[in-house]
Structure 1
């Protein structure tokens, strides 16, 4: 299923922020920064990516319900579990 671009704008913004955070983490590692700071930032990026994934799955479910195309619950369950 393809999702309209306007539905994905918040996801795109979240992913771009995560990309910026990830670039910052790479810089931190290259600079030899404190491991606790690095791990904290990695956890933040991981959470941002998880939220982006859940937003995509939720948008897909919403589109299926609104389009009355039927909802493949097994497929959606697999998508959710892949984010766990």
Structure 2
């Protein structure tokens, strides 16, 4: 059985490290709320966690474009159209978030 390699395969460990860091930031934010920390301090941490997740999203998008979309574009046809549509929708979601 052939195993499909995703575009982020080479960056997987770095992405996982970033996600674990973001997870820790979110746990820290919850702790701050539990401890009645000043609103602005919590918002600062929310901004940092959001930035961390945005960084992961942009890395995944870059890897997707460089690997999946480029490969589909070489193949052409409906596969290429579908991958480009997916990428465009993903970019739209990131921009709106």
TM-score (norm 1): 0.84
Name the count of aligned residue pairs.
82
Picking from 21, 24, 28, the partner of 2:28 is: 24
TM-score (norm 2): 0.74
Displaced runs of 4 or more, over 4 A: none
Gapped regions of structure 1 (runs ≥ 5): none
Please identify the structure whose Cα radius of gyration is greater.
2
Q: What residue number does 2:17 align with? A: 13
Q: Which has the higher contact order (CA 8 A, sep 6+)?
A: 1
Gapped regions of structure 2 (runs ≥ 5): 74-79
Please, what is the CA RMSD of the aligned residues?
A: 1.8
